[in-house]
Amino acid sequence: MIKPLRILGIDPGFGRIGYGLIEQSAGNNWVGVEYGCIETNPKESFVERLKDLHAELIDLIQKYHPDRMAVEELFFFKNVTTAIQVAQARGVILLSAIENGLAVDEFTPLEIKQAMTGYGRAEKGQMQKIMAMLLGIKEKIKSDDAADALAVALTSAQTLWTAKLR
């Protein structure tokens, strides 16, 4: 029996990190397996929060055994300090993937929204509804971070499918 392909999508941050795991089902459809948010403690130092993020990611990877990781790229931040902190968290996220032998795909928010909706300016609520519909998730996806992470993973899946057609 062939193991179905699994992709772990990540919406980076340092206080709240969205994750979404999708799996290829029969007929090349994709289904949502697990999704949610990793939240780090704002009372801890930034370095401790990065350590906690790393530990949580390793736990997710070891629990669900994804084949690859897809991560949203940084695009634009009004606050430079926040951008630097998210960039450092992205480094921890990418390191976690590499340490576990996962291939990594990276996409901008614009690429993800265009792939999921055909429109690069889709709103958070639209993304939550579309992701539930596309991945067969019955309940409402309450977190926009988790919905974004699922969208990153599905963008990766579509990119892989397109590459096979070439």
Tell me the catalytic residues: 11, 72, 145
Strands in the chain per DSSP E? 6-11, 16-24, 30-39, 68-72, 103-107
Find the helix or strand (DSSP H, E) in which 49 lies: helix 46-64
Amino acid at 135: L
Nearest to 9 by CA among 145, 64, 46, 19: 19
> What count of other Cβ atoms lies within 10 Å of the Cβ of residue 85?
18
Find the helix or strand (DSSP H, E) in which 15 lies: none
